[in-house]
Structure 1
Amino acid sequence: MKEKLALFLPGIFLLGFNIGTGSVTTMATAGANYGMSLLWTVLISCAATYLMIANYGRYTLVTGETALEAFRKHIHPAVGVFFILALGVGVCGSVMGVMGIVAEISYEWSKTIIEGGIAPIYWAAFFCAIAYFIFWSGRTQVFERALAVIVAIMAACFVLNFFILMPPVVDMAAGLVPSVPEVSSSETGPLLLIASMVGTTIFSGLFIIRTTLVKEAGWTIEHDKQQRRDAAFAAIMMFVISASIMAAAAGSLFAEGIGLDSASQMIGLLEPLAGALAVSIFAIGIIAAGVSSQFPNLLMIPWLLCDFRGTPRDMTLWKYRVFVFAISLLGLVVPLFDARPVFVLILSQAFNVVLLPVTVGCIIYLGNRADLMGAYRNSLLTNAGLAGLFLFSLLTGYMGFLGLRDMLAG
């Protein structure tokens, strides 16, 4: 079983990275405000995620280079610097938002057990310490195995909650047909939500880190079938978990005509509708999602810097331990200053769509270079899929801009 599990550990790592509190918040908000009508966005996004994971991984299988190495050597160093800066800013915002939501969820949940609950700052400090403790070992295998346990807990909770709160099957099937629902009373309109759902699923950082994991695993082109199977597992599980979160909110809150603007609202709103058990399962799931995404967030910037400079990814070096500790402290910002992280998270995920066209364009260019890929250059079908994704990313980016403009205009 350990050998079989090892085949999927890189995919599980990506799954833990991808499904975080931002995903939960976005999917729950979509389900509560618009039912299952935006399920098509999740399906297309997960299919596109598989395409990108498989192609970036395949590039590393053939060349032995990570994405940032390739950008620096074969495109321009400025492209690599752009990704480091853009993803670095996103990571810092995500660390603050993720821990803020996890602390808020834990606080609301603790109030159902202890009178007055446990203050958010203590929860944030506790979960920041757990993520940093896992990081301290410095070994990728430890990272992957720790995430496998956390992701298993997260997936089990959300899928179980789906069966408790699931909406009618007809509604789920209808949601696979692309459409844009009418604007609800929520501050987050459908256009901004669509952009956010695409941004949180087709995340550029996911594909950059994928090349690092493939190289770390020592895979070559002989492992292409295994690499694609691993990518498919990650994409399918992303769809299952994301759809489960959306369906749980649609089957309970949307069915009762109750909107949602933050994931923590579900703690109070779900209990009278579904009982304490469903609330506890949801809380455990979102906490696991937060920790599973927080940990890769801590690794992101050091790994990007190592890849760009072509240095070994030795996370036991003190310079990285001190640097990651400083990033961990950002997780205390939201509870300390009583900020509201949800809207910022949704905006940051919508901003990820801006990075996506550049990420797609880079792999189209690299994947068609005969001097790099040789006989493994992109096929016509692959190029067609990537071209379609490029256009889709431009469309959703434009939708996100319109949604943000409408929201700011009131």
Structure 2
Amino acid sequence: MRLGPGLLVTAAFIGPGTITTASVAGANFGFALIWTLLFSVIATILLQSMAARLGVATGQDLAQALRANIQTPLFKSLAIFLVISAIGVGSAAYEAGNLSGASMGLIGIFPNVNPQIWTPLIAFLSAGLLYSGKHKVVENALIVLVILMSLVFISTLIMASPSLADILSGFTPSLPEGSITTVLALVGTTIVPYNLFLHSGVLAAKHDSKSDLQKVIKQTNVDTGLSITLGGVITLAILSTASVAFYGTNAGQISAANMAVQLEPLLGDGAHYFFAIGLFAAGLTSAITAPLAGAYAVCGMLGWSNDMASTRFKSVAIIILLFGAAVASLGLDPVAVIIFAQAANGLLLPVITIYLVWLVNQKSVMGKFTNSFILNLVTLPVLMLIFGLSSYKLIGLFF
């Protein structure tokens, strides 16, 4: 089978934010929070496989399915508002961070080049890929970047040489003092609501009612499992490297921007370039997938075509990209927009996951491809976690 759509999800959730969160987790708490990462990966595989199956079985992405199956006008209007606010506006707000992260990577690789050129250049490259409207071109570009990112961070882990016993000890659940916010951040940076729209949208666009849907779903499940596990391994590599380098050293503020420089004493001069390349790849993949996910969500909820080649789809994706580029290039402060997007996400994530589970249990929607009883049972603790995470995020924003 050919890996593809699942790797787009990996490309989307491994961005500068994930690098920072995993680095902070390793630097502040050592290997103790690896169990959180394992739980997050399992939860993400469960939810993404449902979204993917929805796209394969129905030919509709999650946004289109929501619009078609929410009958109450008030609930439908609320769903449209929440999805556009959280996914459309949220993608635009976070796009600035993605472009800035990719630029930081290139500044680290080419320190003597004028740093002002990188953000517009990366935005132009991303816009070119999105405007092509060709799934295969975008997919192949992202697959190459994910492979590059994997090689970089796993190589960095090997150079750091953490003890296998230390890594394995992290799979035993524990909550070190002051770790709850980092635990929730690790979960939140892995279970990303816009990836549900992205994954279902990419597969819905490839829908072929004449194909063997059972076979396609099996292939998609393998693709999803392997791709998201790879994303988990990349995050584990970053967390473990930060743990070896910084845990117990009072290294100060850790971020995606300064991680490369701070690794030099442990890994040598090459670490700077290694990590910078990884940061560039992570920023660029997220800079491409965020507008893509936003376009699927917005177009689906408004009843527009989800064809990547359609004018409306490309326009929404480019607007999201341009907003992020403007914020990143002009040094504007996106805090207000990000707070609004986080609040909308906090409300949206539990609503969307409940609706997703509801949709994939409807025979009228899925036919014979509904969830099994066992799958629903396994999903229950994931839903409870998501409600807890969203409640905590909303309380933290407003109180």
Q: Are the aligned partners of 1:105 and 1:263 in contact in 2 as well (CA < 8 Å)? A: no
Aligned to 2:95: 95
Find 1:241's aligned residue among 225, 234, 257. Answer: 234
Is it true that 1:287 corresponds to 2:280 in the alignment? yes
Instruction: Tell me the residue number matched to 2:131.
Output: 136
1:372 Cα deviation after fit: 2.5
Q: 1:128 to 1:374 in 2, by over 3 A?
A: closer
CA distance in 2, matches of 1:347, 1:319: 25
Per-residue CA shift, 1:207-260, capped at 9, x if unaligned? Answer: 122111111222534412111111111221111111011111111122534243
- Does 1:30 pair with 2:19? no
2:158 to 163, 176, 179: 163
Answer yes or no: is 1:199 the counterpart of 2:188. Answer: yes
User: Residues 26 and 242 of structure 2 are in contact (CA less than 8 Å); yes or no, is this contact kept in structure 1?
Assistant: yes
Q: 1:296 deviation in Å?
A: 1.2
Q: Are the aligned partners of 1:200 and 1:350 in contact in 2 as well (CA < 8 Å)?
A: no
**Do 1:16 and 1:293's aligned partners in 2 also have CA atoms closer than 8 Å?**
yes
Aligned to 1:272: 265
Q: Is the 8 A contact 2:105 2:276 kept in 1?
A: yes
Over 3 Å counting, the alpha-carbon distance change for 1:201 and 1:346 in structure 2 is farther
Call closer, same or farther: CA 1:235–1:349 in 2, change over 3 Å: farther
Is the Cα–Cα contact under 8 Å of residues 88 and 301 in structure 1 kept in the other structure?
yes
**Secondary structure of 2:24 counterpart:** helix
Shift of 1:91: 0.4
Q: CA RMSD in A?
A: 2.8
Structure 1 residue corresponding to 2:122, chosen from 119, 127, 139: 127
* Matches of 1:98 and 1:122, distance apart in 2: 16
Q: Where does residue 107 of structure 1 map in the other structure?
A: 107
Superposed CA deviations along residues 57-97 of structure 1, whole A, max 9, x for unmatched, are 22233333221122112124332442122111210111111
- Find the counterpart in structure 2 of residue 218 from structure 1: 207
Q: Distance in 1 between matches of 2:59 and 2:104?
A: 43
Identity of aligned residues (%): 28
Structure-to-structure mapping, 1:322-333, within 5 angstroms:
323-329=316-322, 330-333=324-327
**Aligned match of 1:118 in 110, 114, 120?**
114
- Would you say the 8 A contact 2:153–2:237 is kept in 1? yes
Q: Please say if residues 22 and 345 of structure 1, whose CA atoms lie closer than 8 Å, have aligned partners that are also in contact.
A: no
Structure 1, 247-256 or 72-81: larger mean CA deviation: 72-81
Matches within 5 A, 1:305-320: 305-317=298-310, 320=313
- Worse-matched range after superposition: 368-377 or 63-72: 368-377
In structure 2, do the counterparts of structure 1 residues 372 and 222 end up closer, same or farther at CA, with 3 Å as the change threshold? same
User: Normalised by the size of structure 1, how large is the TM-score?
Assistant: 0.86
C-alpha distance 212-326 of structure 1, shift in aligned 2 (>3 A): closer
- 1:83 maps to 83
State how far apart, in whole Å, the 2-side matches of 1:127 and 1:75 are: 39
TM-score by length of 2: 0.88
Q: CA deviation at 1:44?
A: 0.5
Which residue matches 1:300? Answer: 293
